[in-house]
Amino acid sequence: MNAYLLLTMAIVAEVIATTALKASHGFSRLGPSLLVVTGYSTAFWLLGLVMNTVPVGIAYAIWSGAGIVLVTLLAVLFYRQIPDLPALLGMGLIIAGVAVIQLWSRSGGH
């Protein structure tokens, strides 16, 4: 299977797990707690598969950048946590950094 498809699946699993972590209330609620454990287990398994073909730095840059943005979007939707301007600017810089790596870095595994 394509490594970047696996990476996308890993990111989705991690974002679900991270979003459920808040809802678990310190692992005191069973449903969200199971989502956390299942999501992170799946995410790390998939990320491990990705790193067989994608350099670790590249995979992690994409993983963390996409995760930060997606978790923030879900926090806005589910928890009404609205990021301020500096947070939005910082996320923009993260996205720009991932784009630079993907578009111009020779270590991108292309």
* Chain segment 60-96, per-residue pLDDT in tens: 889 999 999 999 999 999 999 999 999 999 999 988 9
The domain in which residue 45 lies consists of: 3-108
Q: Which of 13, 15, 20, 12 is nearest to 36 (CA)?
A: 20
Number of domains in the chain: 1
Position 98, amino acid: V
Spell out the SS3 assignment of 31-59.
HHHHHHHHHHHHHHHHHHHHCCCCCHHHH
More confident residue, 109 or 86: 86
Answer whether residue 110 shows pLDDT above 70. no
More confident residue, 65 or 1: 65
Whole-number Å distance between alpha carbons of 77 and 23: 13
In this prediction, residue 108 carries a pLDDT of 54
Predicted TM-score of the model (pTM):
0.86
| Arithmetic mean of pLDDT, 39-55 | 96
